[in-house]
Amino acid sequence: MAARGQKAIDPDGGYYTDIIRVFCFAPDSASFLAVESFFTRYRNLVVLAAVLVVQIMGLAIQVRRFGSGRNSLDVRDGSGVRLIRLWAEAVVSPFERGIHGTGQGAFWLWNNYADLRNVRQQNQQLKQTIDRLRLEQAALLEDARQGERLQALLNFQQKYIYSTLAAQVIGSSGSELSHVFYIDKGENYKLKPDMAVITGNGIVGKVRDVFPRTAQVLAINDQTSGAGVILQTTRIRGILRGDPSGRLMVVGVLSDERIQPGEAVLTAGGDLIFPRGLPVGVVDKVVPDPVHDGFIDIMVKPAAHLDRLDEVMVITSTQPRFNEQEQKDIDTSQAEKGADAQAIQNQIRDQLKASQIMAEHLPGLMVPNLPPDQQPLNDTSNPPLVTPPPQALHPDRFTPGNAPGPPGDASGTTSPVTTSPGEQQKQPKPAPAPKAPPQGNP
**Footprint on this chain of other proteins (rule: CB under 8 A):** 9, 12-15, 43-44, 47-48, 51-52, 55-56, 58-59, 62-63, 65, 70-73, 81, 84-85, 87-89, 91-92, 95-96, 99-100, 169-178, 180-182, 208-209, 216, 218, 222-224, 243-246, 307-309
Distances (CA, A) of 113 to 95, 106, 122, 379: 27, 11, 15, 74
Question: Cβ closer to other proteins: 24 or 177?
Answer: 177
Neighbours of 423 (CB within 10 A): 12
Q: b/e for 44-60, b at 16 or more Cβ within 10 A?
A: eeeeeeeeeeeeeeeee
Residue 71, classed as helix, strand or coil, is strand
Considering the complex, state which of residue 244 and residue 390 has its C-beta at the smaller distance from other proteins.
244
Judged by beta carbon, residue 220 or residue 268, the one nearer other proteins is 220
Shortest Å distance, C-beta 142 to other proteins: 44
> Residues near 231 by Cβ (< 8 Å), separated by ≥ 6?
237, 238, 259, 263, 264, 265, 266, 283, 298
Residue 159: CB atoms within 10 A of its CB come to: 16
Q: Are residues 263 and 234 in contact, defined by beta-carbon separation less than 8 angstroms?
A: yes
Nearest distance in Å: CB 278, other proteins: 23
Residue with smaller CB distance to other proteins, 56 or 433: 56
Smallest gap from Cβ 268 to other proteins, in A, equals 23
Q: Sign (positive/negative) of CA torsion 143, 144, 145, 150?
A: positive
- For other proteins, the closer of residues 87 and 110 by Cβ is 87
CB of 169 to other proteins, least distance (A): 6
CB atoms within 10 A of CB 359: 11
User: Are the CB atoms for 202 and 278 separated by under 8 Å?
Assistant: yes
- Looking at the Cβ atoms of 99 and 433, the one nearer to other proteins is 99
8 vs 33 by CB, closer to other proteins: 8
Give the nearest distance from C-beta 168 to other proteins in angstroms: 10
Report the nearest approach of other proteins to the CB of residue 261 (Å).
Answer: 21
What secondary structure letter does DSSP report for 67? T
Whole-number minimum distance, CB 186 to other proteins, in Å? 15
